[in-house]
Every structure is written in C-alpha cells, then in structure tokens.
Structure 1
Amino acid sequence: MDLAGLRRRPAGPGVTGPGAGRPLAVRTDPALGGRWTSLATPEREWLWRNPRVPAAARAGVAPGDPFVDAGGGEECLPTIGGPSDHGEVWSRPWSDGGDGAARVRAGNLALSRRLRADGGVVRARYTIDGQPGAGLLHAVHLLLDLGPDARLEVPGRPDTLVVEWPEPGATTASTWPDGRGVPLDVLGPDDGTARCAVVATDRLDVVDGADRLALRWGVGPGYAAPVSLVVWRNLGGWPDDGPYRSVGVEPMLGAETNLDRAAPDRLAHLDGRGRLEWWLDARATRAAQNLPL
C-alpha cells in the first residue's frame, strides 16, 4: 500500500462537492466514551442506531467489556480490532471541558478532542499524548444510516487491504473498490456478505439520494503519519448467529485495523515530544441530482 502521499497534509483544507451546503450539527456523549450520538442536517440524521441494542446495554459498559455495537460514532484508540476490540477509550467516561472539548486517558495514552460546527462544517481536532515513538491506531468509527442505492466515492483506485479475509486473521491486498468479490463502493439490498477494508485515502464522499456527506482528514502541521479509511460493509453477513445490516466509514490515523498485527510503517507514531495531532472535517450538501465526482 502506497502511503507516501498521505503522510503530511496541511490542516483544515476546504471541502468541496456539488450541491448546496446544508447546516450540519453534531452531538456527543462524553460520559459514554465520547460517543458521537448525532450528525444531522435539517433534512436527515446521518448516524445509524442499532435497533437490536437497548440504550441500557451501551450505557452499562466498563473498561474491558466486549464491544457493544450500538451505532452512532465511536472513538477507537489505540486499535480497532482486538485485543481490545475497538480499543480502550470507547468504554471509558471522558472529562467534559465544555465548548466541544473532551479528554480521556487509557493506559499510557491521553486523547483530547475539540469538536464544533463552524460555518456548516463539523470540525474535529485531536491531540494524542504519550510515550515518544509509541505506535497506535485511532479511528472515528461512524456507522451511517444509508439506503440501498447509496454509494461511497473515493478518488482514483487506491490500494486497499481487505482484512479478516478470506479467513479470520488474514489480510488480502486489493484495489478500490474491489473487496475481493464484493464492491465496496455500492451497497444494494442485503446479500449475506460482510467485508472490512482499509483504503489508502484521506477523503470520502458518501452519497445517498439528494444528500452528500463529504469527509476529509489528515495530520496536523509539523507531524507525519499515515492516514487511511476503514470501510465496513455488512449487508447481513455478520455475525453468524444473528446477521444484520450495518455500514461503517472510519477516517483513521494509521493503515491497519489491528495494532498487534500491523507493520511499523502502518502505525502512526508519536513524535519525539510524545505527541501527534490530526483532524477530521465533515460537510453536508444537498442537490437535486448527485453526479459522481
């Protein structure tokens, strides 16, 4: 996977796309792992909620508990795949600093987030502190409420790593949008498949009917680290004992899903001061006809 072009980006570029810009609002719950509970325009809620998971099940988690797939957006640090599944910070209460600021500590890492809506753009700014040189992965695990005609637009044909395929623990190289026999860029009705893939990109447009959600992300000025996108396309193929439909897009610092399996160049590393900063911007537009970018 070619990561050279994704290691350094200036902070805060413009997000562009066809259609009229729409107000985009965000809500989070610091007490429940900093969870994103809403990302909405006046016309729609973008975040999916799992109807199978009672609110009490998500509210009752403690550090070390198995992941509860409640939907919304979860912060995953220092790994996505286990152990620990989805990392250490989603299950811990965060301290609420007000004005969109929140902070959490897990092990030797401290994660700070400032999240605000600014001129129609939701901006998330992250700072990770810890031991100099420490390797990690950090993903913003957004589960989206999308119809069967929705599509995921990524520029070009970037390198793609299909993980846990063709068997648990395996990884298979591919090229976007091929998820090894499953198209990652289109959804459709439930077909009994599930794929998870890491895509070498720093941008994604999610198109669903008239609505477009544009995501852009990168490391802060003066920092160097790979960034990528995790796509979770589950159309009734997981879990074996009760499959359901869920679609996740996860802007990520790093280029793997499993901290223990990742080669050093697929991890993000804290700098000599023990710090790394990165950002994520989201913008929504609406058009009578959404043409492919």
Structure 2
Amino acid sequence: MVTDVAPHAHTDLGAGGRWTSLEAAGREWLWHRPDPARGTVRPGDAFVDAGGLEECVPTIRGVPDHGDAWSRAWRRVGTAHVVECPDFVLQRRIRRTATALRAGYELRADAGYRFLWAAHALLDVTPAACLNAPAGTPTRLFPEAAPLLDRSWPSTARHLTGPWPAPCGLRLDRLGPDDGTAVGAVLTSCDRVTVTDGPDTLAFALRAEAPVPVSVALWRNLRGFPTTGAYRSIGVEPMIGSVFDLAEAGPADVAEVPADGRLRWELAITATTTRTPEASP
C-alpha cells in the first residue's frame, strides 16, 4: 500500500538558513558530510560542501561561490526566516500541511535585478535510486560532461542540450552505481521531479508567481569530485533560472525582479512510501 507523507524539516538559521534535516516516514533524505570549516565561513568564502540543503542565490557556480546567502547568518522575523545581502533581501516561510512541506520565498531587490536561485538539496540515496522527469525534457550539459560524451565538445559552447533522460547520449536518470564520474545538468522548463529509491519516493514541485524560468539542476557526483579525496554526493535542486553561473546567463536564463521590487515562488515537497511502519529504517 502506498502511504503519502508530509516531510518534516529542520533548519539552522545561524548557518546560512541551511536545511539540516528532511525526514519522512522515518527516513532521512538529506546527505551530510561534516566539515569543521562550515561553521566558520564568512561572506565571499569558497563553498563548504557539508550536505543538507543550502539556499543558493543569486548564483550557484561563479562569484560568490554558491551565492551570497549560504554564508550569512539568517534571522527570524515572526514566522519568516530572513537573510539580508548587499543587493537583495530573501525571506522564507516553511510550513507543513497534511500532504506537503511548503517553503514560500520572497526576494526583494531593485526592479530589474537579475538572479538565479536553487534549493541545493544533497540527497542520501542508494546507487539504485533514479531521478524521474518527463521524457524529452530539454536538458543542458556543462563542460565537465565532455569526457563522458561520444562526441567532441564545441570550443565555443557553454552548454549542450539534449532530451531527458539521456541528453547527448549520456544517461543521467540513474543515480549510481559509483563509477568515478561527476556531471552537472539542468532540466530546463521543468517544474517537478521525483526521486525513487526502493520503496520510497521524494517529490519536488516548484511554482513561481511571475513568468520566470523554472528548472531542476542535477549534480551527479559518483565519486568523481574532487580530484583528491573524491566522495559521492547527489544533488537534486529545484531552481529559478536555467544555468549554473549568473555571469554566463542569457536574458531568458534568469529571473528578473519586477517593477514592484518583489518576486515570489513556492517549493512543495512530498513523499510516499510502500514500507510498513515496522520496516522503517
């Protein structure tokens, strides 16, 4: 029997608003990699990959590394979590309903401000897990994928695009087994995906109030990164935008703050399981 579950979340406002737990039916979905450097970061520092879910805005790759919000302390204002950055203020409200965990966001900035955002969720899944998205979804590959392709990478191309689940012949929906590779991709014009791992499924759905690009980023690191001390990490990242680096974004790749200075969106997370309570991990 399939059981619907509304996940529980825990966050650490002092550590960049980071989500430290996403639990459903006795299963912890977030992967962690403890690193003492995560507790001492300052704005502008290189990203510390400690797992969990990090709020990446106004860029993911590029400068500042993984954005400007993950390295700053957030504060609570009523029911909201707020971070103030030099060019914008981001507000987040997380609430749990009977069927879903919902995170509502509002970014305030000058009209015309351009940004990317990603819920940089690193998931604790087995090598048998799969990422499910509509077949044919246009999926962008980035240069680190070049050695995995059976074709040459054009010298002037910042990304190549092909249909999900195997853009340019590279099968990406399987999240293992570990094979020493690491690749990033963006499923463009995609507002919902599911991750299936044995009897458990986690689903992400993203909705924006304004007509902005909505995508899902995938970071499939099967012990191919970093060069020294490689480890396994799987990122499934609902995002506003369709590229990783704001500096490389075209006009259609980013969100732009409208005339009233506010842009809002909502991330809904749901889960299902076919395990009985006695079989929960």
**Same fold by TM-score, threshold 0.5 exceeded?**
yes
Secondary structure of the 2:270 match is: strand
Aligned identity (percent) is 43
Which residue of the partner structure matches residue 28 of structure 2? 45
Alpha-carbon distance between aligned partners in 1 of 2:78 and 2:231, rounded to the nearest angstrom: 36
> TM-score, normalised on structure 2?
0.90
Secondary structure of the 1:149 match is: coil
> Residue deviations 1:7-65, cap 9 Å, x none?
xxxxxxxxxxx921124100001110000000002321000001xx33x3211111011
> Residue deviations 1:247-284, cap 9 Å, x none?
00110011111000010111101001111100100011
Q: Does 1:139 align with 2:126?
A: no
Letter in 2 for 1:156: A
Match of 1:172 among 160, 167, 181: 160
Which residue of the partner structure matches residue 265 of structure 2? 278
8 Å Cα contact 2:120/2:236 also seen in 1 = yes
- Following superposition, the deviation at residue 98 of structure 1 comes to 4.6
8 Å Cα contact 1:179/1:195 also seen in 2 = no
8 Å Cα contact 2:15/2:71 also seen in 1 = yes
Which residue of the partner structure matches residue 212 of structure 1? 201
- Following superposition, the deviation at residue 68 of structure 1 comes to 0.2
> TM-score, normalised on structure 1?
0.87
8 Å Cα contact 1:26/1:116 also seen in 2 = no
Which residue of the partner structure matches residue 73 of structure 2? 93
- Following superposition, the deviation at residue 170 of structure 1 comes to 3.3
Alpha-carbon distance between aligned partners in 2 of 1:229 and 1:26, rounded to the nearest angstrom: 20
8 Å Cα contact 2:135/2:165 also seen in 1 = no
8 Å Cα contact 1:89/1:104 also seen in 2 = yes
> Residue deviations 1:202-241, cap 9 Å, x none?
0011111111111101102xx2111000000010111112
Which residue of the partner structure matches residue 269 of structure 1? 256
8 Å Cα contact 2:129/2:195 also seen in 1 = yes
Alpha-carbon distance between aligned partners in 2 of 1:172 and 1:22, rounded to the nearest angstrom: 37
Alpha-carbon distance between aligned partners in 2 of 1:23 and 1:133, rounded to the nearest angstrom: 36
Matched positions, count: 266
Change (3 A) 1:48 1:65: same
> Residue deviations 1:189-208, cap 9 Å, x none?
21011110010210011111
